[in-house]
């Protein structure tokens, strides 16, 4: 009955309407730790952490209790017109202690999409106030994922988010992703490849004119585009290029943030100094919709100096700085620290990658295993020697994920690059990692031989 009611009433995000109509949805009923249970009673290890977000794990009683307490104390109040609440004030202080030192102020929203949307508007306002109104173009990368709003879907570099929506909009430029495994030349070192990409970027900037480009946005590790880690020297050269041309750098940490990579933020590991940064997902471990968009003190000072002229920030959301969401985020940060889950992500993440290499690196259709901490991508290839990929239309990654589900594990197929993504809750234990990897190896073997 539930399946039919779902089919009759719900338009699912990022889903095949025809497949849901034919097969019905998978309906989840309960979850605890790293395990989820569907309505058929099947228990599964969630190797994806929801959608890269359940960092603390499912069913955390302390987090649920804090949500209930905060709801009783102050269920809602807006933050427009100078209004505030204690929870968002305390959350801002805790976040600013942990983000890169280049960042000094935070704006709260509800999702990664709205965080990036907010930052794009602030890029435009910042340059306009500084007398550079033409600096409206934003450079993103092919295969990037930055959201699904009109602006952020345009930033996203995946064609499936464009082709049926008259997107991307023309303020967005796309350059090559830093995909060393697929795109490097024979015998080309990582540093040489990085240099080639920055030369390509320099050419794009010259063609478009630096005076017309406001910002460059990048995920430290590409998520939905294939869990692609940057090659040596890439971000160092990138940041130098952007500074030279007065182009702001936006780090999209929506997937990588809050311990996913074994660090509070991947920017720390890759030594990034962004002018702006977007976060969401792990900020509340998915228990409450919330995002945090950060800006540098330089950008803040420009907004402040012109505040009489602008009349204030004409931007915001009904749920910006939501007191319950902020309380949940505060408790989430506290629990991540108390339970040592940031260091555990590094330690157990190292074990995850070790086990993946042992189980899969010799398989003829596994080309590369990528990632950092509890974030991993398994690259499936048609031919290992030539690094040739499967045709996306063959849905190879989806077939492996479907087989994995039958074996009691959830993995995420990334169809555009035939990659399997893993991002389990940070509370996952080694024995659960072992089960996850062994069953994934069986699924790969069943589908690809």
pLDDT in tens, 210-244: 999 999 999 999 999 999 999 999 999 999 999 99
> pLDDT digits over 31-72, tens only?
999 999 999 999 999 999 999 999 999 999 999 999 999 999
- Asked if residue 328 and residue 410 are part of one domain, the reply reads no
7: in domain? no
Domain boundary among 280, 310, 338: 338
Report, as an integer, the average pLDDT of 292-303. Answer: 98
Query: Which are the contacts of 257, defined by CB distance < 8 A and separation ≥ 6?
Result: 264, 265, 266, 279, 281, 282, 283
What are 407's two structure tokens? 């074996």
Confidence bin at 312 (pLDDT 50/70/90): confident
Q: How far apart are CA 366 and CA 178, in angstroms?
A: 20
Q: Are residues 86 and 68 in the same domain?
A: yes
Question: 304 in a domain, yes or no?
Answer: yes
Alpha-carbon distance 35 to 33, whole Å? Answer: 6
Domain coverage including residue 439: 33-56+340-448
Q: How confident is the model at residue 246, as a pLDDT?
A: 98
Q: Are residues 345 and 259 in the same domain?
A: no
Per residue in 103-140, pLDDT (tens digit) is: 999 999 999 999 999 999 999 999 999 999 999 999 99
Q: Which of 9-18, 183-192, 259-268, 294-303 has the lowest mean pLDDT?
A: 9-18
Whole-number average pLDDT of the chain: 98
Residue 438 lies in a domain: yes
242/348 same-domain check: no
358: pLDDT strictly greater than 90: yes
In a domain, 406, yes or no: yes
Decide if 77 is inside a domain: yes
My answer on whether 41 and 137 are in the same domain is no
Rounded to whole angstroms, the Cα distance separating 177 from 193 reads: 11
303 and 323 both lie in a single domain: yes
My answer on whether 52 and 98 are in the same domain is: no
* Euclidean distance between CA atoms 279 and 104, whole angstroms: 14
> Which among 287, 312, 338 is the end of a domain?
338
Q: Is the confidence at residue 361, as pLDDT, over 90? A: yes
CATH code: domain of residue 292? 3.40.640.10
Q: Does the pLDDT of residue 87 top 90, yes or no? A: yes
Nearest to 373 by CA among 249, 277, 268: 268
Average pLDDT on 277-299 reads 99
Same domain, 104 and 222: yes
Helix (H) / strand (E) containing 404 = helix 396-406
Q: Does some domain include residue 100?
A: yes
Quick one: how far is CA 440 from the chain centroid? 23
Question: Whose CA is closest to 99, among 258, 255, 245, 221?
Answer: 258
- Is the pLDDT assigned to residue 388 strictly greater than 90? yes
- Asked whether residue 287 carries a pLDDT value surpassing 90, the answer given is yes
Judgement on whether residues 399 and 252 belong to the same structural domain of the protein = no
CATH label of the domain that carries residue 405: 3.90.1150.10
Residue 2 located in a structural domain: no
Residues 121, 187 share a domain: yes
Residues 356 and 294 in one domain: no
Q: What is the mean pLDDT of residues 248-265?
A: 99
Question: Which pair of tokens denotes residue 341?
Answer: 């889950």
Number of domains in the chain: 2
What's the predicted TM-score (pTM) here?
0.97
Q: What is the mean pLDDT of residues 293-308?
A: 97
Q: Could you say which of 289, 314, 338 is where a domain stops?
A: 338
Judgement on whether residues 330 and 403 belong to the same structural domain of the protein? no
What's the pLDDT score for residue 43? 98
Whether 80 is in a domain gets the answer yes
Return phi, psi of residue 18, to 5°: -65, -40
pLDDT over 90 (residue 273): yes
Question: Is-contact 272 248, C-beta < 8 A?
Answer: no
Contacts of residue 383, defined as CB under 8 A and 6 or more positions apart, other chains included, come to: none
Whole-number pLDDT of residue 329 = 99
């Amino acid at each position: 009955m539930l399946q039919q009611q779902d089919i009759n009433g719900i338009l699912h995000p990022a889903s095949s309407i025809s497949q849901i109509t034919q097969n019905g949805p998978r309906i989840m009923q309960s979850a605890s730790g790293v395990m989820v249970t569907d309505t058929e009673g099947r228990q599964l290890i969630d190797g994806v952490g929801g959608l890269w977000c359940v960092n603390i794990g499912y069913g955390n009683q302390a987090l649920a209790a804090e949500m209930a307490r905060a709801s009783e104390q102050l269920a809602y109040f807006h933050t427009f017109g100078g209004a505030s609440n204690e929870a968002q004030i305390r959350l801002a202080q805790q976040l600013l202690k942990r983000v890169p030192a280049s960042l000094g102020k935070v704006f709260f929203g509800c999702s990664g999409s709205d965080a990036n949307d907010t930052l794009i508007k602030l890029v435009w306002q910042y340059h306009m106030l500084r007398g550079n109104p033409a600096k409206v173009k934003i450079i993103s990368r092919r295969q990037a994922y930055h959201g699904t709003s009109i602006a952020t879907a345009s930033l996203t570099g995946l064609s499936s988010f464009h082709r049926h929506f008259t997107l991307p909009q023309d303020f967005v430029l796309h350059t090559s992703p830093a995909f060393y495994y697929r795109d490097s030349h024979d015998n080309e070192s990582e540093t040489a490849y990085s240099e080639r990409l920055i030369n390509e970027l320099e050419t794009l900037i010259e063609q478009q004119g630096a005076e017309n480009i406001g910002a460059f946005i990048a995920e430290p590790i590409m998520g939905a585009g294939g869990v692609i880690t940057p090659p040596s020297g890439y971000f160092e050269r990138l940041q130098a290029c952007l500074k030279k041309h007065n182009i702001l750098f936006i780090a999209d940490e929506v997937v990588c943030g809050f311990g996913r990579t074994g660090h509070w933020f991947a920017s720390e590991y890759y030594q990034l100094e962004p002018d702006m940064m977007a976060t969401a997902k792990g900020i509340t471990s998915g228990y409450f919709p919330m995002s945090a968009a950060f800006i540098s003190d330089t950008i803040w000072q420009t907004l402040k100096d012109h505040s009489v002229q602008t009349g204030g920030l004409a931007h915001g959301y009904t749920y910006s700085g939501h007191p319950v969401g902020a309380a949940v985020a505060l408790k989430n940060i506290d629990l991540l620290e108390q339970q040592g889950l940031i260091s555990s992500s590094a330690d157990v993440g190292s074990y995850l990658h070790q086990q993946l290499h042992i189980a899969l690196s010799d398989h003829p259709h596994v080309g590369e295993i990528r990632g950092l901490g509890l974030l991993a991508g398994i690259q499936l290839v048609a031919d290992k020697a030539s690094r040739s990929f499967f045709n996306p239309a063959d849905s190879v990654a989806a077939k492996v994920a479907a087989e994995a589900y039958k074996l009691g594990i959830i993995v995420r197929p990334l169809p555009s690059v035939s990659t399997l993504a893993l991002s389990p809750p940070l509370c996952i234990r080694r024995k659960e990692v072992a089960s996850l990897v062994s069953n994934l190896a069986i699924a790969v073997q069943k589908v690809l031989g």
